[in-house]
Amino acid sequence: MIEDEIRANPLLRLSINFSILVIQYCEVLDQNRKHVIGKQLLRAATSIGANAMEAQNAESKADFIHKMKVAGKEADETQYWLILCKHAKSYPDCSHLFPKLEELQKILNAILGSSK
């Protein structure tokens, strides 16, 4: 089933786990009335896995590469929002999210490098 596919696919597994961590962090942001950044971060971070999941059923190699590139762009956008949160003094600590994001970015870069 789909859960077996996710367990067997490191990118999907990591992106879902990362999304859950970001959801939890954004709930804290929401409690602290940091709605604008929280919504942007949540949208970008959860889109990484959504695009990676879509790529699993790509119509062609070019479609697969395109979807993975979109996932990479969403990872870059997520990094931007996390950097803002990290440096804004009134925001809660998000340092635990950076290593997970970097791991996802490395996997995405490796997939894109070997897919071309």
SS3 for 40-85, per residue? HHHHHHHHHHHHHHHHCCCCCHHHHHHHHHHHHHHHHHHHHHHHHH
Percent of the chain with pLDDT over 70: 97
Is residue 9 classed as helix, strand or coil in its secondary structure? coil
Segment 63-98, tens digit of pLDDT: 999 999 999 999 999 999 999 999 999 999 999 999
Residue 45 has pLDDT above 80, yes or no: yes
Give the pLDDT confidence score for residue 2 in this predicted structure.
64
* Sequence-distant (≥ 6) Cβ neighbours of residue 34 within 8 angstroms: 90, 91
Q: Can you give the residue ranges of every domain in the chain?
A: 2-115
Residue 11 has pLDDT above 60, yes or no: yes
Domain 2-115 matching CATH 1.25.40.10: the answer reads no
pLDDT band at 6 (very low <50, low <70, confident <90, very high): confident
Of 34, 26, 115, the residue nearest 78 (C-alpha):
26
The token duo for 93 is 């600590």
